[in-house]
Amino acid sequence: MTDTTTTPPEIGGIGHSVKRVEDARLIEGQGNFLDDIALPGMLHMALVRSPVAHARINGIDSDAAMAVDGVLAVVTGELMAAHNLAWMPTLSGDTQAVLATDKVRYQGQEVAAVIATDPYAAADGAELVEVDYDMLDAITNPQQSLAEGAELIRDEKEGQTDNLAYTWETGDEAATEAAFAGADRVVSLTTHYPRSHPSPLETCGIVADVNSVTGQATIYMTSQAPHAHRTLFALVAGLPEQNIRIVSPDIGGGFGNKVPIYPGYVVATAASLLIGQPVKWVETRTGNLISTGFGRDYYMTGELALSNDGRIQAMRVDMLSDQGAFYSDAQPTRYRAGLFHVCTGSYDFPHAHIKCRGAFTNKAPGGVAYRCSFRITEASYLIERLIQTAAYELGIDPAEMRLRNFIQPEQFPYETATGFVYDSGDYPTALRKALDAAGYDELRAEQAAAREEGRLVGIGIAHFTEAVGAGPAHTYDIAGLKMIDSAELRVHPTGKAILKLGVKTQGQGHETTFAQIVAEETGIPSTDIKVIHGDTDDTPYGLGTYASRSTPVGGAATAMVARKIADKARHIAAHLLEAAPEDIDRDADKFFVKGSPDKSVTIQDAAFAAYTNLPEGMEYGLEDVTYYNPPNLTFPYGSYVVVVDVDADTGVWKVRRMVALDDCGVRINPMIVEGQIHGGLTEGFAMSSMQWITFDDDGNCIGSNFMDYLIPTAWETPRFELLETVTPSPHHPIGAKGIGESATVGSPAAFVNAVVDALAHLGVRNIDMPVLPDRVWEAIDSAGG
């Protein structure tokens, strides 16, 4: 492990595996999750969802539902329309139905809501709401959707004459085409990154408490971005922003699923406003899987122009994305395909051109950044699959192929063909270290011997580069809100502190790691710092936690505000030591006159003096706030090596080893970083092996519960071997880059590459995810193996 610690364990600054503060409540069942909240007079809401994918609504009969004991109201789209709330804006500038008024456009769409005194009564009522539908043909894939004569899904949308949701392109088309025309070889790969769902174990929910007398709206919700949600509530519902308080309590996992605003939130808030009592809505698991933000669903064709010796000269990508019925990707405004243009990956070549079309289908909307920074998972998957394909076609070892094309350490900062400026990296060292740990050369020898015996062994490599920490305000906003973030630090007279954040944990351990940043910068022990987050009345503004932006943006804000505090403390210490501020030095937690460490002032002494004994002209108190606008994204990377054994008779594959080297810059808390990597690798394994949301031809969602949507248990999940290198980000105050999503982004290609590698000698080049045994068997069978 690389040692980056500068403080002793009792201070617990950067580099210490400090035990988590949040554990104390969670291991005793004292967490406060959304469904644990109970307010006096609280009512319960259940949603009526469409059982069909595409149909016109003729009418809704609520009589039987209203007759259920305990049911107080049935809210329909008509009622919402009377308050101008039947439709709401999405995070991608489209509009989405809150409760359907004209027709339903996907199975599971919200049609009505039943409000009752008890959740069982609400569910009974929802069963009895009768909706009269006129069936329409369902369109279940984007190819069908964009075909001539396809039924118009978004017939309500002014000016919409087809099912095209958007088009987007980037890069230099002419230069790219010229490079392809002159290339020795062109290698291509067509693959589908299937629809997946983040499905945190806690579903989405809200307790809306709107006081009709004071106008105060206190909204408890499962929100990864409480401040952004407050502003959007103000803009959509017309509520005055000072009267909206969003409280995001303990969150049972987010993974991007809790970034959008969902219809249930809006209906519950409206119902509380109309009825004058708090209203709770907690999504069912099926509701979560069939209606809230999915991830991926990209059909991709990628091509590389290559020289005969394996040098990449250009990349060309054509994509088609399945957006579902509403375009509601949660992503920066100017990038319609998220940050997909990071698809040039870790490689040095001058030209790329990417074009993408998004299509409406009769499927749930979403397109959230499922444990990834806006479509980076798809991008990383494509280039890492493509380079392996190229290696086979050119007869070059896949590891050697990467080494020949890597951006070299001395090239950083490196501007990619699509305009990202990578901050730092040493890719060859990382890959070689991972290969050595895996015993790559021995594995290749074993593979060759195994093939002689008719056994299938595969070695898969992925070397990914992420672009996280959105982002610089000149480029990045969501729904017009710039993607800055903030931290406020108050040091009390006894030297204990409160740190307030604009970001919000969902299990990443902010209450521990952000305190460590303050400890590093001020010398206040991390255990003396309470971290507050998630309550918009009590924290400074920020865009929230997703896209691995907490440490790159919120963590930077924390370091910067702590430096302001430390600097004021230094001036106070100078006053106490009767010296000039510029003559004051500091070690972990003490100030002293340079050269005289015997006489010192602790940070706690300085804090007390901040309220009792100040130099002339200095303002009382020891607190400050910083809003951080990052100068650039950060670019974590990693080298993953997977070894699989494939049973040729059944297509079943097993992970023998998974070696994962991550470089996320400086690690604040190594224990927590490794935990994040374990989780991310598991989700990558899940997507590559079993997790997908599919639909039948009528638009019925297959994968609407955890019996059909498979999530790996401990039994299937591989064991992981972790490695690291540390290449600090030069522009981040503490050199950190973000780690929450790296492993989910990087690992799917490594797993799939491993299975394909086992079959490569048969001529197999691709198996789409999830790599199910029957797909493997078919690949072997059709290759004549």
Minimum Å gap between C-beta 283 and another protein is 10
Identify whether 9 is preceded by a cis peptide bond (ω within 30 of 0).
no
Residue 202 interacting with another protein (CB under 8 A): yes
The verdict on whether 570 is a catalytic residue reads no
DSSP of 459-526, one letter per residue?
EEEEEEE--BS---TTT-EETTEE--EEEEEEE-TTS-EEEEESS--SSS-HHHHHHHHHHHHH---G
Q: What is the separation of C-alpha 103 from the centre of its chain, rounded to a whole number of angstroms?
A: 31
For position 250 contacting another protein by CB under 8 A, the verdict is: yes
Three-class DSSP category at 355:
strand
CA distance 767 to 782: 12
Interacting positions 708-737 with another protein (CB under 8 A): 711, 713-715, 717, 719-720
Task: Note whether 507 binds another protein by CB under 8 A.
Answer: yes
| Three-state secondary-structure class, residue 640 | strand
117 binds another protein (CB under 8 A): no
Pick the catalytic residue: 371, 549, 570, 667? Answer: 371
From residue 66 to residue 105, the character string flagging contacts with another protein as x (rule: CB under 8 A) and all else as - is: ----------------------------------------
120 binds another protein (CB under 8 A): yes
**691 interacts with another protein by CB under 8 A:** no
H or E element at residue 398: helix 398-405
Q: Give the one residue of 682, 688, 727, 742 binding another protein; rule: CB under 8 A.
A: 682
Site string for another protein, 21-50 (x = CB under 8 A): -xxxxxxxxxx-x-xx-x------------
Yes or no: say if 90 and 328 are a contact pair by the CB < 8 Å rule.
yes
What residue type is assigned to position 215 of the chain? G
Q: How far apart are CA 81 and CA 87, in angstroms?
A: 8
564-583 positions binding another protein, by CB under 8 A: none
Out of 1, 2, 19, 212, name the contact with another protein by CB under 8 A.
Answer: 19
Segment interacting with another protein, rule: CB under 8 A, options 64-72, 194-202, 317-325, 622-630: 194-202
Please choose, out of 71-79, 99-107, 328-336, 666-674, the segment that lies near another protein by the rule CB under 8 A: 666-674
Cβ-contact 220, 35 below 8 angstroms: no
Q: Which is nearer to another protein, 119 or 350 (CB)?
A: 119
**Residue 489: what residue type?**
L
Least Cβ distance, residue 682 to another protein (angstroms): 4
Residue bearing tokens 């299509």: 359
Bond preceding residue 471 cis, omega within 30 of 0: yes
Tokens encoding 618: 């200095």
State the minimum distance, in angstroms, from the CB of residue 23 to another protein. Answer: 4
Q: Segment near another protein (CB under 8 A), from 156-164, 533-541, 554-562, 675-683? A: 675-683
Can 371 be counted among the known catalytic residues? yes
Q: Which helix (H) or strand (E) holds 425?
A: none
Known catalytic membership, residue 741: yes
Say if residues 97 and 155 touch (Cβ distance below 8 Å): no
602-631 positions binding another protein, by CB under 8 A:
none
From the list 226, 542, 679, 738, which residue makes contact with another protein (rule: CB under 8 A)?
Answer: 679
- Residue showing tokens 């809790």: 258
Binding mask 477-506 toward another protein (x if CB under 8 A, else -) reads -----------------------------x
Assess 509 for contact with another protein (CB under 8 A): yes
CB of 21 vs another protein, minimal distance in Å: 10
The correct pick among 168, 180, 193, 255 for binding another protein (CB under 8 A) is 255
Q: Is the dihedral of CA 387, 393, 396, 398 positive or negative?
A: positive
Contact between 594 and another protein (CB under 8 A)?
Answer: no
Sign of CA dihedral 478, 479, 482, 488: negative
CA distance 438 to 424: 25
For the bound state, the minimum distance from the C-beta of residue 412 to another protein, rounded and expressed in Å, comes to 31
| Binding status of residue 465 toward another protein by CB under 8 A | no
Distance CA 313, CA 180 (A): 8
Binding another protein by CB under 8 A: which of 15, 77, 108, 200?
Answer: 200
Which residue of the set 343, 356, 372, 701 is catalytic?
372
Report the alpha-carbon distance of residue 366 to residue 738 in Å, rounded: 24
Q: Which one of 110, 303, 378, 741 is the catalytic residue?
A: 741
Query: What is the closest distance, in whole angstroms, from the C-beta atom of residue 285 to another protein in the complex?
Result: 4
How many residues are there in the chain? 785
Tell the residue number behind the tokens 């990467």, with chain if given: 402
Closest CB 233 distance from another protein, rounded Å = 24
Sort strands 244-247 and 217-221 into parallel, antiparallel or unpaired. parallel
Q: What is the DSSP-derived secondary structure letter of residue 448?
A: H
Asked if 392 interacts with another protein (CB under 8 A), we say: no
Tell me how far, at minimum, the Cβ of 550 lies from another protein, in Å: 14
Count CB-CB contacts under 10 A for residue 606. Answer: 28
Q: Is 127 in the site for another protein (CB under 8 A)?
A: no
Q: How far is the CB of 115 from another protein (least distance, A)?
A: 17
Tell which one of 5, 117, 160, 284 touches another protein (CB under 8 A): 284
Which conformational region is residue 405 in: left (phi greater than 0), alpha (psi within -120 to 50 degrees), or beta?
alpha
Tokens at 242, concatenated: 């000072």
Kindly report the backbone phi and psi dihedral angles of residue 171, in degrees, each rounded to the nearest multiple of 5, phi listed first: 95, 180
Catalytically annotated residues: 224, 371-372, 741
Q: Which residues bind another protein (CB under 8 A)?
A: 19-20, 22-31, 33, 35-36, 38, 119-120, 199-203, 250-253, 255, 282, 284-286, 506-509, 671-672, 674-676, 678-683, 705-707, 711, 713-715, 717, 719-720
